[in-house]
Amino acid sequence: MHRSPETADPHVPSHILVVEDESFVRMVAVDMLEDAGLPVVEAPDADAALRLLEGRAQAFAILFTDIDLPGSMDGLTLAARVQARWPHIRLIVTSGRLRPSPHDLPGPGRFLPKPYCRSDLLGALGHAA
């Protein structure tokens, strides 16, 4: 079941924060994760994601973000900020346009190219460091 930011339990460090500006793509990713039984919170851009993380970052285990986002920062910048402030959060970035090299990813972040299927996404979650 989708959890809005208001219903996320800040004491359960297992939520996945999905950051994707394309609502249909975000919905598909959330559905894939929820179908696997994973608790998900979603945000349409990096600024909204940071607002969700403020004060309750311990509730999140994984950040799954698109690189190409509207607003003040892209997904790589978001991932770098999350890595710097909340190193316990594992990072997975995705894009259908860009292919960052491993040294472009912050810390132990992973890249998942679009389009991806459910098994690709779950595999990336399993291998995220």
Residue 33 has a pLDDT of 96
Q: Is the pLDDT of residue 114 over 70?
A: yes
pLDDT tops 90 at residue 5: no
Domains belonging to the chain, first-starting first, are 5-127 (3.40.50.2300)
- In order, the DSSP letters of 91-121 are EEEEESS----GGGS-TT-EEEESS--HHHH
Pairwise CA distance, residues 39 & 63, whole Å? 12
What's the pLDDT tens digit per position in 23-67?
A: 999 999 999 999 999 999 999 999 999 999 998 999 999 999 999
pLDDT in tens, 14-34: 899 999 999 999 999 999 999
Let me know: does 17 contact 3? Beta carbons within 8 Å: no
pLDDT of residue 108: 87
